């Protein structure tokens, strides 16, 4: 703002830390385009990105049908505090709320990365082995959880 920019384009890693700066720029009349991830307020000119609420809602509706209204889920989160992770979680929960026999029993911090999900998944899974489904906020974290389970299965086969 001190450089008197004509336009500010931001892609926040997390919503909270950048919100005050975006609000200040917007309040000063500087057009602000938020890309991929939102801030914690609606004080910006335009948002370019996915409808993450709809993504989570569709996933929740699909899961409810797939599980026939009953099941235990481990959720693999994107980066906590990022708008896509918050919106995907909230809408998934909203979608399965009509099914009291579906519950999220544990959460894994995948932070949008395959290796993070793969590394953190075993500790959570070891405490909640009786699950029916893994819901990951993106495909690479789903792959990390899958590879973790594959490694576990291979190790169990070797121990027999």
Query: Are 37 and 86 members of one domain?
Result: no
Domain-embedded: residue 2: no
Beta-carbon contacts of residue 52 (< 8 Å; ≥ 6 apart):
83, 84, 87, 88, 91
Share of the chain above pLDDT 90, in %: 73
Any idea what the CATH number is for the domain that residue 99 is in? 3.40.50.2300
Query: Are 141 and 71 members of one domain?
Result: yes
Beta-carbon contacts of residue 71 (< 8 Å; ≥ 6 apart):
63, 101, 102, 103, 131, 132, 133
- Per the structure, how many domains does the chain have? 2
**Any idea what the Cα angle at residue 65 is, between residues 147 and 110, rounded to 5°?**
30
Query: Are 80 and 115 members of one domain?
Result: yes
Mean pLDDT score, 33-37: 88
User: Considering the entire predicted model, what is its pTM?
Assistant: 0.80
According to DSSP, the residues that pair with 47 across neighbouring strands are 34
Over the stretch 95-150, which tens digit does the pLDDT of each residue have?
999 999 999 999 999 999 999 999 999 999 999 989 999 999 999 999 999 999 99
Nearest to 136 by CA among 104, 158, 99, 95: 104
Query: Are 13 and 89 members of one domain?
Result: no
Domain that holds residue 77: 52-159
Domain-embedded: residue 3: no
């Amino acid at each position: 703002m001190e450089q008197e920019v004509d336009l500010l384009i931001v892609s926040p890693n997390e919503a909270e830390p950048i919100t005050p700066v975006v609000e200040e720029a917007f309040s000063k009349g500087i057009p602000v385009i938020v890309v991929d991830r939102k801030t914690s307020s609606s004080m910006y000119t335009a948002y370019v990105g996915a409808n993450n609420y709809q993504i989570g809602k569709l996933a929740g509706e699909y899961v409810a049908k797939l599980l026939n209204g009953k099941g235990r889920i481990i959720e693999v989160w994107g980066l906590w505090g990022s708008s896509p992770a918050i919106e995907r979680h909230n809408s998934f929960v909203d979608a399965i709320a009509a099914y009291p026999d579906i519950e999220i029993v544990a959460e894994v911090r995948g932070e949008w990365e395959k290796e993070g999900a793969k590394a953190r998944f075993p500790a959570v899974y070891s405490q909640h082995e009786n699950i029916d489904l893994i819901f990951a906020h993106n495909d690479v974290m789903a792959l990390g959880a899958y590879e973790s389970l594959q490694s576990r299965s291979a190790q169990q086969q070797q121990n027999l």
